[in-house]
Structure 1
């Protein structure tokens, strides 16, 4: 083993032998290629376990057609840790229109085909074939967002908790640092994974009702109640989702129990947020910040490396969590609404290390997280009470308690800009422009335009129709227009020619052809037609996916007590028509635009668009 390999976590039996490790504590199976960077779960959790005295071997993208790869390290002393990767495996493998993807950025050279569909189920099956009775803990985004009964877009069915379908012993949901160390400690003490039932941020199961918690839990509707293809069942699904959404916070969330067949899945309350000291400590771990040398060779397509690293190699993760809570995003279901942030000192130290990299050209590509300009909790009450269960922080009617300030973020960016070898610091994470407009102090707005973009700023108004924006939990279109005008004013004052590049979603629940036309007419008026339009993708764990499947808005009731219906564009045809309206300037889209306008009786709009 060469000295370069020694810097990485072990990936082969030879690596273990070189380190004199006769029996590894954990084998971490990942659907992604192994990149030793804090943006990749296998690296950050593997390094954390290593730092706490455990031995870890990484098994990246094993061949699932046999058990050979799964046996290569022998039987681990404490168990297998299994993740589908940085994305749900079905999202990695298929587009929003259910077409196979042509590449996979988290694989060697971007080559597709290195992870199975429904990776958790497949990986655990092979582990079970390889080692009878071994502890298997699943985690990551695929486990987190499929932890209870969930709508599966690709099969168009409601599936059970992936804990049951995979036949794993224990499931970690959310960000797993606290949970994985507690689980490791209990396994080391002699417990089996099936016996571990008291760790926050985990789901476990039992076939005995007598083993359920004695009190303080909420019984969700059963899998059988939410999985039937009936109006009543779909409304029950929506009500169940609302209960789950209301119990994602570590401070006020209850234990949830869901029955499926003769078993009960128990979701313990979420893990407590990391302290700033804990989060800083994670990024001090000895990451190489590189892909493993095994990917230096060219793959079958003549490409090397792991493309996903290029997006993060010279970026800084400053925060976790998001209280924006957009309906189409599952971040709040996974990371939660509480903001966890790193100290300036930690970020500056990492930036200094970054500048010494031979490939660093003077540009820090990003300083952010799910939302770049969130650096603290939304309000003073969240630290003591948690995020409100029945109130949005932002959206159409922002909460009056939201504390708006960019002062800390501005100070951090100024310090980073002042570092030797740093030419420019970009912000590429999402900017929540409604939060920015709530800040009466325009210092950050000026700094953003002057120092942190280059020619254009990508933003996400998502739609023009206020009825759709309300369902998206976004601000009204008026706020975006005010932001756009202020952006133009500030750039003019600074003597800069910089533009906005807005993103839009077609086919989101609540959006029909009339709403798509409303957006198209606005785009025509403003002279901007997007090169790319995102088709709504119903992925597990989001409120919008719940609305897509059920046709109900769980947050709104009618006078008769039933949930309010939501229009949903189903099938590929209307989705294509909506997308064509938003990109009406493309010659090939004109027949689709005409078809859409005819169907809603708006042929008068043809002359306006063309």
Structure 2
């Protein structure tokens, strides 16, 4: 049975008033990959009644009354993606579709959905508790650079006028909050819950042990001094994301203070397993079985995860352009083999299952445990990368557990093949002296092509990306080719590249183009760098500074940033120099860089 979505559902279940109403920018899919369903089922398992108000029309407050006023709180999320990322491309153009909406139609979620939804809830019900969470709220929890307006904005907690914000993966925080709400404590008064942010207008309420961040006023002015302070603020926040060694943070914002409590502790394996054992329907709600206005049915995003297994959370890879570590953290949480096998068996009973498990992974598929023993006991190091250009010598690269898991999965009845489509961190794979996993990967878990993400060729850019050197990718490429040859297989690598990342200029794009020319591979798609809230690369994009490297005068070191659409187009064209429509842009870029001698080589 699905969670209630309308008054009729409440009447059929005999529910007079729901405890929680979950307002989501996504369509309702009752699957653990969708946060509203996962958290709704979790609350339900603890005895709370939960309804889902999915993609309400935000133009009228009346639409937010569809399930009535909840006894405890509204829970608001923009959905699986930041609403601005969902609605606009990296070049700030409206997207043509939304895979989390009925039929993939665009236009079913507003820009800045969290703010819009809370405003209408406040209009509908005065004084009701409103708690915000999800990726949009989590990554905008303090003052942040907003690419779409090209300004620094307040914490979304303040701009939305919500009572409380849950950041990161919210299971533990939400259950603790629910308990306090049930005792009659209003959301605005809840304090001390890990994984939350709250605000106060009283300085004496700021926790004595809080680290004070630069104020909103200091980081929001478009001046060199302000950008220096923005970079400092980001650095402090990044150093305090770990549940073990992180601190409480406080950000002055005009007459108020935003308080970020310490991060929630990672789920234990038993807790992680129990969540995925909840009674999900594992399909979209029947209301999407009818065709949308574009003639399509269902929710496209489900197809990506319906026959996939989430085996882990967190990522100690910490790529600069990715906000996962700012949201999920660097600690790895993994599910047991038993839990994953149980889910896979259920999957094979689905009438649509054709014998193929599409993925077994998470943010990084081949991470199944913390980077090292020190990290388990003391938390992630504040000033040391696990991987990147200079991998930490304490990193324990071990794929034995993952290999055993994959063997068990592919031996299940009715399973023909188990693919791995989550990102493989090839530099971590190369640190493993035992190459069993590489051969297992090639033999059993690839079908012709393996997608990997070297991202760039320039070591200068790769260092800013927190990626391994290009030589590591070339070594992996050679090992991959060797393994496939020995196995008698013809399988290829499909590398992804990013254009316009901080640190990358036209010379670096030319360097990449020449490498692609030499290897004979030119990507069909190139990702333009997208400055989304919460990432180190976005901080560098806005400030032009690297918050992890200082000059002799004590200020942060400058980073070159490609600004404006034209240079970004030039870089992308160089990475796809073989496309006829890019010829003029490639010529322009080469002439601009003083490398007209390369025109005949690339064109």
Give the TM-score normalised by the residue count of structure 1.
0.99
The residue correspondences of 1:277-316 to structure 2 (distance < 5 A) are 277-316=270-309
Aligned-partner Cα distance in 2 for 1:415–1:511: 43
SS of the residue corresponding to residue 177 of structure 2 reads helix
Q: Does 1:417 align with 2:410?
A: yes
Deviation at 1:546, TM superposition (A): 0.1
Distance 1:175 1:584 in 2: 41
Q: Which residue of 2 aligns with 1:237?
A: 230
The offset of 1:382, in angstroms, is 1.3
Q: Distance in 1 between matches of 2:343 and 2:548?
A: 42
* 1:373 match: secondary structure: coil
What is the rounded CA distance, in whole Å, between the counterparts of 2:99 and 2:68 in structure 1?
A: 30
Distance in 1 (CA, whole Å) between partners of 2:304 and 2:553 is 50
Alpha-carbon distance between aligned partners in 2 of 1:172 and 1:560, rounded to the nearest angstrom: 38
Show CA shifts across 1:277-322 (max 9, x none).
0000000000010000000000111111000000000000000000
Measure how far apart 1:496 and its partner are: 0.4
- Structure 1 residue 68: Cα displacement: 1.6
1:54-79: per-residue Cα shift (whole Å, max 9, x none)? Answer: 00000000000001221112211001
* Residues 1:505 and 2:498 aligned together: yes
Give the Cα–Cα distance (whole angstroms) in 1 for the partners of residues 65 and 38 of structure 2: 24
Equivalences for residues 192-341 of structure 1 within 5 A? 192-214=186-208, 216-341=209-334
Displacement of 1:383 after TM fit? Answer: 1.7
For the residue of structure 1 that corresponds to 2:453, the secondary structure is strand
Counterpart among 451, 455, 465 of residue 462 in structure 1: 455
Match of 2:136 in 1: 142
In the alignment, what sits opposite 1:4?
none
* Secondary structure in structure 2 of the residue aligned to 1:80: strand
* 1:111-150 aligned within 5 A: 111-150=105-144
Q: CA deviation at 1:384?
A: 1.4
Q: What secondary structure does 1:461 align onto?
A: strand
Deviation at 1:607, TM superposition (A): 2.2
**2:559 counterpart of 1:579:** no
Which of 168, 171, 176 is matched with 1:177 structurally? 171
Distance 2:69 2:597 in 1: 70
Q: Deviations over 1:187-237 (max 9, x none)?
A: 0001000110110000000000011112x2100000000000001100110
Give the distance between the partners of 2:584 and 2:64, measured in 1 at CA. 52
> SS of the residue aligned with 1:279?
helix
- CA offsets per residue over residues 487-537 of structure 1, 9 Å max, x none? 001100100000000000000000000000000000000000000000000
Q: Indicate the residue corresponding to 1:33 in structure 2.
A: 27
Q: How many Å separate the matches in 2 of 1:75 and 1:526?
A: 61
Per-residue CA deviation, residues 246-272 of structure 1 (Å, 9 max, x unaligned), is: 000000000000011100000000000
In the alignment, structure 1 segments of 5+ residues that lack a partner are: 1-6
Query: Relative to structure 2, which stretch is displaced further, 474-483 or 600-609?
Result: 600-609
Residue 430 of structure 1 is matched in structure 2 by 423
* Distance in 1 separating the partners of 2:598 and 2:253: 51
- The equivalent position to 1:96 in structure 2, one of 90, 95, 98, is 90
Q: Which runs of 5 or more structure 2 residues have no equivalent in the other structure? A: none
Distance 1:486 1:404 in 2: 17
2:40 to 33, 40, 46: 46
Partner SS state of residue 596, structure 2: coil
Shift of 1:606: 1.4
2:446 to 450, 453, 456: 453
Matches within 5 A, 1:554-593: 554-593=547-586
What residue number does 1:161 align with?
155
SS at match of 1:238: helix
Secondary structure of 1:604 counterpart: helix
1:463-483 deviation digits (Å, cap 9, x = unpaired): 000000000000000000000
Determine helix, strand or coil for the equivalent of 1:575. Answer: helix
Distance 1:70 1:184 in 2: 21
Q: How far has the Cα of 1:605 moved from its partner?
A: 1.3
User: Which one of the candidate residues 75, 78, 97 is aligned to 1:81?
Assistant: 75
Say if 2:517 is the partner of 1:517.
no
Distance (whole Å) between structure 2 residues aligned to residue 434 and residue 158 of structure 1: 35
RMSD after superposition: 0.4
Secondary structure in 2 aligned to 1:82? strand
In 1, Cα distance between equivalents of 2:210 and 2:174? 23
In the alignment, the residues of structure 2 paired with residue 168 and residue 396 of structure 1 have an alpha-carbon distance, to the nearest angstrom, of 41
CA distance in 1, matches of 2:503, 2:452: 21
Provide the rounded CA distance (Å) in 2 between the counterparts of 1:531 and 1:495. 27
SS at match of 1:35: coil
Distance of 1:211 and 1:570 partners within structure 2: 41
1:346 alignment counterpart = 339
The separation in 1 between residues aligned to 2:321 and 2:397, in whole angstroms, is 24
Indicate the SS of the match to 1:290: coil
The whole-number CA distance in structure 1 between the counterparts of 2:483 and 2:296 is 43
Q: How many aligned residue pairs are there?
A: 603
SS at match of 2:451: strand
Q: Distance in 2 between matches of 1:515 and 1:53?
A: 57
Q: Give the match for residue 387 of structure 1.
A: 380
C-alpha separation in 1, matches of 2:472 and 2:70: 55
Shift of 1:604: 1.1
